[in-house]
Structure formats: structure tokens, C-alpha cells
Structure 1
């Protein structure tokens, strides 16, 4: 399990709002004003992330292996590269907003060398990829029970990643055509060159991450090969010993045809049997059936083992899959939207109810302590993200100055000269969000 404290808040936005209200620090009309503020905030970020999603989807179309629509005109090389960059930037943006963490490359490489649940020898050719990004959330230890020899049970602690997001862009068809000339197995690919694949999984053992790659090659481990090979050799030896007389008959018959009498005389075989065609045919048929039957039996065992391995991989991916390709963006945007709102609500609430001025560092500590007391979770709260979001939300409010109404454009959040944070009142904040929402579209020229 990683020692890194994560920023993800594992509770619903509505639960966070309820916890704030249950604190009892907001009374009377402020309760309804706070709920209205949260509703407007959620609507605003839903609109903002919807725009982000639409932009990603529009650029992803040419990379989507499952796309059922066509473009009127193929993009130029410059446009293609720009669209790819837009998809990657959008992908990173929503994952960071969703409080996911990028997985180090060495963890993926380690999964190829070590095993946790599925005991397979695996190989992934990373040269096949133009782009590779892997993000995760939730690094936990889990105790599982395994059966040994189908009778005994054994407990094992494995490192689990609760959520894993994988983006892979394969190299173009020219690369794989060149590969196919060297190795025929690359002629039948289970993916489309040049396309971008996205996968979203749950509860993946950290050491089984290699199973998520579509170009994975699996084989038996050295231990399985021994368990498979040693019995096969043991069974083959007595068969070969019993077949030696028949083998000698066939050899002598061939030598007689080649008129190698001197060599035949040195072999202790009844030459009358050799000159009689029936024993030779029987010997040949017997040897063929014996060795052929054994070979078929061993090959069937190998294929059964291989099918069992593939089933384990398929079961792992099928039952833990949450989304693929374009649907991954939709799922991640929903998570990012929730996380942004939860963080802003927590920041705004604690600034609103604090009896003293707070710096970002003080506020960060207060929120983390509050989460521990209320929910029993220890998180690394991302204080700068929500502060920046609140500071960027600007709108016009009406206030009185010398008994005259004035209209002024202000941000929801600002700082004084000492670095303390200032937040607008609930009524003013609601007015700002209402203004922003009303002016989201300016199609009427106003």
C-alpha cells in the first residue's frame, strides 16, 4: 500500500452539504441560502465540465476505435496532431480534477515481473505505443483467501488499486506491417493501429496491471512448465521403450530397401519379420498411433491449461471493467465535477463560518481535521484548487454607497495584504453565481 495521502473525498456532494448543515453554525435563512449557493455552484460546474467533455469528444472521434460516425474531411497532419494533443490535455485535466494520481512507470514494469492473483508469464511490448498514461485512485491492502490444491485455504495480503484509468495510443499501421514481416503473429491484431484506447477498471491488484494491456502475450510460468513437462517426459519414456522393437523393424526395412545389408546384419532383428510386409505395416501403424496419441494428449493438456489462463484473464477484466473508450471520458467528467464542487463547498463553508481570518495553510489544516472528526478519513486536501476556482468566479453585485445603489464586479474570493482570505456573504455569493449563470450565453448581443 502506498504511503501517499490522497485528495479524493469518498463521499457524495449531497452528504458533504448535509454535514455542513448538521454542524449547526448556519441558522435561519442562511441554511436555505447555503443550499441555494450549492445548487447554483453545481449547475455552474456541470455546465463548465459539459463544455470540456464536448471538446474532448469532438477531438477524440478520429482516434475512437468504436466510432460509428465519419468525418466529412480527414484532418491534415497538423490538425491530427493538434486533435491528439487536445484529447491528451483534456484527459489529464479531468483526471487531475477528479483527484486521480499518475502511476509511475516502474510500477507497471514491476507487474510484468511479479504476480499476485493470476499466475501467468506475461510480456507487453511498450514499443507498440505512441502514448501511454495510467492513473489510479485508492491504494489499499486487502486480505483475500486462496485455495491451495483445492482443499487448503490460505490468506494473502495483496495491494489493490481501487480505480485504474489507462490510455493507450497505438502506433500506425506501417509500424505493425513492418513487424508482421518479421513475425507472423502480428498479422492478426486484436486492436486497430493508430487508434486511442481507454479503459476504466476497479479493484485491480497492483502486480496484475500488465493484464490490462490489449497487446499482452501470456504463457505459462517456469513452474507450470515443469509441472506440465516433467509428467509428460515421464509418460513418454515407457512408450518409447515399448516402441523400440517396432522402430528397429522400420529402420531395418528402410535399410533393406537401400541395400545396406552389412548394417542390417549388425542389428539383432528377425529379418524374416522384416521381409514380411504385414509386421512392418503393423509396427508402423502401432508406432504412429502410440506416439501420435500421446502427442495429441499432451497438446490437449497444454491447450486446456492455456484456455484456463485466458479465462482467468477474461474474468478479471470483464467483472472489473467500468467503461471503455469514449464512455471513460463521460465517467471521469462526472467524478471531476463532483470533486470540484465538494472541495469548493468545504472551502466556502469553513471560510463563511470561521470566527477569525484564515490563510490558505490554516484553512487546509482546519478542513483536514474536520474531515477526520466528521468522517474518520485522513485526506490530503487540495486547498489551492478550490481557492483558485472561487477567485476566478466573478460577477456583478448591487450595493449601497452613500445611500446610492452601485453595481460593482467582484470575485467570490479575495486576499488582503496579509495573505488572509476574504469571502463574500451568502447573499452576495448567491448574487454572483446567479449573475454568472444568467450570462453564460451572450447570444442576444447584450
Structure 2
């Protein structure tokens, strides 16, 4: 049996190649004269230098905004370092957008929560435990896995969406309940997590207050054998004890006139029956607890291999991702404008780049041509020529 998603995969902005590889790919593509090739190298150096300086300034702002909220900080916070979580979340959202991360909407998150988990467990998350939650993903693919059925009697193949990268931003409430699953977290702190290879249906497992529940099938697997064995225990080992207890209670309540004699054999039978009943109940409780423990271990093992970074480390990673993305987009737009040798419209440039990736590298993406051209214009590397057409310019020392 195969379960297949109903919606097609979206075409994303992310360019799945490294910045240095993009430069090499352009150089190997050719189509430039020696003078143009030198012009391309100078422009690329200017692009890298500009965004390196730009993101260095952003990094300092993010570090300052996150310092008083970092749960892992080993430095002291002064009164001057006031907490400003809104500045942090807004700057973080801007950087993630520049790094081609896509924000998961509230509707998308609720849909993921309602989907069946691929790990054969039920997960519950209460978002009311947090003051603010942001979830961003980058890169999506369709994967297929074979899941085993109950008792391994049969299996089914499922096709699901998988996110290459997931960034989770959580700000804890300042009044965390001591009995909450978040009791070990510092009130008001902000947590950042970066994960890889996360199925869309299992986004719940990334949250720190995830609770594991038993599915209906799991309850049946425990409940039906428990009822059957319980009936056997009641009829074979506890039947005499129940009759004796019924007689005692009936006499004490005045429902029977004949007294019940508790001799040595009766007391031993009563103790043996109660012991058998207690042992049976403890065994069923242990079965339930062990099954839930196996689910917890499966969740822990899965997260162990998917976690890439925590807190301040996430900031450095996404800053590098955003810098790479800005450089790649600018480099591609400049190269194809330069190679054209004549003014190109934004639409023509966009189609040229997307077709190049599709035909040359078997990669489908949505190139952000307007954003790329605006960056080149800001750097003085491109200008509008006529109505809606763009042309490449040589880099200059005065470019900003």
C-alpha cells in the first residue's frame, strides 16, 4: 500500500550549489572575452567584499540582541544590555529570508501537527507554552520509505515531503509552570535550533515540550491481550479469592446472616489471589510504560542525528547561509548580463538563468531576478538601459 502526498512540490528560491561552485560553473560555461572574464572576476570580488562587510555588521546586531536571551551564555549581562526579543526575531526573520528560508505559516504548522507521524508514534505540542514561535525551512524533496505494520505482518510504502533544513525559534514565557515539561528552561529565554532532514509530518518532534501519546492501534495491541489474560487470571487464580471477599463484604454489610470463617487456608488463598492480581496489574502497567519508553528512545535517537546546531551557533550558520545566497544571486545575474552583450529585460534574464539551471544542471528553481538586479544596481554593477532593460557595468573603486 502506498500513501502519496496530494500537492506537488513547490519551486523554491534556494540555489543548491556553493558560492565558489557557482563562480566556477560560470567561468567554465565560457562565452566571455578575456576582457569580460577579467571584468567578471573583479565584479565577483566586489560582490564578496560588500556582503562580507554587510553581514559582519548584521552579525554584531544579532549577537547584541541575543546575548541577554541566550540560555547558554557564560558571560554576565549588565543593566545596559536590555532584553529586546522583538528586535531579535525581526532581524532573524530578515536574515532567514535573505538566506532563502521559507516561513512555515500557522496553517502549515497546524496541518503538519494533524498529519500522521512517520515514526509510528503520536506527538502532541502545546504552543501556548511559548510567547513566540517561528519556524523556517529550506529545501524540500519527496522521499519514500517502507514502514512495518503491526507485529511486522505487513508493510506499507509512504511518500512524504522532507525538509533539508529547519530553523526553530522559540521564546519561553516568563512564568513557566514548575510542573510543566519546560520546567528546566529559563523563563524568558530564547532558544534557537537547526535541524536537517525533517519530514513535514514530524515537525512536532522538534519542540521541547513534545509529549508522546499512544495511538489507537497501540492501545489495542496492549488492551486486547490484557483483557484476555485478565479473564484467564480472574477465572483460574483470583476466582476463589473474589468469592471469599464477596462473602466477607456481604456479611459485613448485613446482606448475609451466615458468618465467614477465616482459617489458615482461607487466609493463604486470599493472599495468593491478591498477589496474583497485583502481579497481573503491575505487568500490564510495565507493558504500557515499556512501550512508551521505546517510543521515547526512538524519538531521541532520531533527533540526535538530525540536530545540526543550537542557539548562538544557529545565528552564525544562518548568517553564512544568507551571505552565500546573496553572493550567488548577484554573481549569476552579473554573469548572464555580461555574457549577453546587450541590454536584457528582467524577464529575459530570469528565464535565461532558470533555463540554464534546468538544462545544464538538472535543477529547477525560482530565481529572484528583481532582488538580484537591485543588488547589482546598489553595487554599481548594473544599470537600466532604456525601458525595462538592464546592462552590466564594470566595477569601480567607488562602488558601494
Residue of structure 2 in register with 1:408 after alignment: none
- The whole-number CA distance in structure 1 between the counterparts of 2:183 and 2:361 is 48
Residue of structure 1 in register with 2:240 after alignment: 245
- The whole-number CA distance in structure 2 between the counterparts of 1:322 and 1:188 is 22
1:334 to 296, 320, 327: 320
Residue of structure 1 in register with 2:66 after alignment: 60
Q: Match of 1:71, SS?
A: coil
- The whole-number CA distance in structure 2 between the counterparts of 1:327 and 1:187 is 24
Structure 2 residue 71 is the aligned partner of structure 1 residue 71 = no
Q: Match of 2:167, SS?
A: strand
Residue of structure 2 in register with 1:142 after alignment: 143
Contact 2:182 2:208 in 1 (8 A): no
Could you tell me which runs of 5 or more consecutive residues in structure 1 were left unpaired when the two chains were aligned. Answer: 394-410, 437-446
Contact 1:249 1:283 in 2 (8 A): no
Spell out, residue by residue over 1:271-311, the C-alpha distance to the aligned partner (whole angstroms, 9 max, x if none): 4xx242x2233123212210111111111111110111101
Could you tell me which runs of 5 or more consecutive residues in structure 2 were left unpaired when the two chains were aligned. Answer: 1-6
Decide whether aligned partners of structure 1 residues 152 and 233 sit closer, same or farther in structure 2, where only a CA change above 3 A counts: closer
Matches within 5 A, 1:405-420: 411-420=380-389
Q: Match of 2:135, SS?
A: strand
- The whole-number CA distance in structure 2 between the counterparts of 1:34 and 1:188 is 53
Contact 1:117 1:208 in 2 (8 A): yes
Shift of 1:130: 1.3
- The whole-number CA distance in structure 2 between the counterparts of 1:201 and 1:110 is 20
**TM-score normalised over the length of structure 2:** 0.90
Contact 2:43 2:381 in 1 (8 A): no
Residue of structure 2 in register with 1:191 after alignment: 185
Structure 2 residue 388 is the aligned partner of structure 1 residue 422 = no
Worse overlay, 212-221 or 186-195 = 186-195
Structure 2 residue 10 is the aligned partner of structure 1 residue 17 = no
Decide whether aligned partners of structure 1 residues 253 and 421 sit closer, same or farther in structure 2, where only a CA change above 3 A counts: same
- Computing the radius of gyration over CA atoms, which structure comes out larger, 1 or 2? 1
- The whole-number CA distance in structure 1 between the counterparts of 2:152 and 2:246 is 48
Contact 1:5 1:380 in 2 (8 A): yes
Residue of structure 2 in register with 1:388 after alignment: 374
1:378 to 364, 381, 386: 364
- The whole-number CA distance in structure 2 between the counterparts of 1:246 and 1:196 is 58
Residue of structure 2 in register with 1:349 after alignment: 335
Contact 2:9 2:142 in 1 (8 A): no
- The whole-number CA distance in structure 2 between the counterparts of 1:336 and 1:187 is 34
Contact 1:116 1:158 in 2 (8 A): no
Structure 2 residue 12 is the aligned partner of structure 1 residue 6 = yes
- The whole-number CA distance in structure 1 between the counterparts of 2:95 and 2:65 is 15
Shift of 1:378: 1.6
Structure 2 residue 57 is the aligned partner of structure 1 residue 51 = yes
Shift of 1:251: 4.5
Q: Match of 1:186, SS?
A: coil
Decide whether aligned partners of structure 1 residues 111 and 56 sit closer, same or farther in structure 2, where only a CA change above 3 A counts: same
2:159 to 157, 180, 186: 157
Contact 2:241 2:274 in 1 (8 A): no
- The whole-number CA distance in structure 2 between the counterparts of 1:119 and 1:190 is 28
Residue of structure 2 in register with 1:311 after alignment: 297
Query: How many residues were matched structurally?
Result: 392
Shift of 1:151: 6.6
- The whole-number CA distance in structure 1 between the counterparts of 2:75 and 2:256 is 75
Structure 2 residue 256 is the aligned partner of structure 1 residue 263 = yes
Spell out, residue by residue over 1:145-168, the C-alpha distance to the aligned partner (whole angstroms, 9 max, x if none): 333444755432122112111111
Decide whether aligned partners of structure 1 residues 323 and 187 sit closer, same or farther in structure 2, where only a CA change above 3 A counts: closer
- The whole-number CA distance in structure 2 between the counterparts of 1:340 and 1:86 is 22
**TM-score normalised over the length of structure 1:** 0.82
- The whole-number CA distance in structure 2 between the counterparts of 1:86 and 1:96 is 15
Structure 2 residue 203 is the aligned partner of structure 1 residue 201 = no
Matches within 5 A, 1:81-92: 83-92=84-93
Q: Match of 1:146, SS?
A: strand
Residue of structure 1 in register with 2:4 after alignment: none
Spell out, residue by residue over 1:319-345, the C-alpha distance to the aligned partner (whole angstroms, 9 max, x if none): 111111111111111111111001000
Decide whether aligned partners of structure 1 residues 47 and 318 sit closer, same or farther in structure 2, where only a CA change above 3 A counts: same
- The whole-number CA distance in structure 2 between the counterparts of 1:247 and 1:48 is 80
- The whole-number CA distance in structure 1 between the counterparts of 2:70 and 2:348 is 45
- The whole-number CA distance in structure 2 between the counterparts of 1:31 and 1:187 is 59
Contact 1:130 1:171 in 2 (8 A): yes
